[in-house]
Amino acid sequence: MSVSKDEIKNIAKLAKLNLNEAEINEFTGDMNKILDYMDKLNELDTDNIRPLSNPLETYNVLREDELKRSIDREDALKNAPGRNDEFFRVPKVIKSDKK
């Protein structure tokens, strides 16, 4: 299988690329080299090869959800520089341009 200059021009047009004649020649050669390599790969016998979705053996590394005791609210607020009843008090960070 090979690609012609006209096919490269059509692909460039579809991709909205403006290619000059030198670039068209270069891409034609590069595309034909890629397709030749693909033809070579198609010669390989892959009958006894298992299909892969990923070339690496992967497994789920997530842990099971476990209910654990969290820090008590009073302990969390104990060293807070400012508090309002049972909440942290923080400086206002949203500014309004309205007057």
Which tokens hold the place of 44?
Answer: 């390989």
Residues 62 and 73 sit within 8 Å (Cβ to Cβ): no
* Beta-bridge partners for 87: 84
Domain ranges of the chain: 5-42
Each residue's pLDDT tens digit, 52-76: 887 888 778 888 888 888 888 888 8
Instruction: Enter the pTM of the model.
Output: 0.48
Rg of the Cα atoms in the chain = 32
Which tokens hold the place of 14?
Answer: 């579809």
Tell me the CA end-to-end span of the chain in Å, nearest whole number. Answer: 71
CATH of domain 5-42: 1.10.20
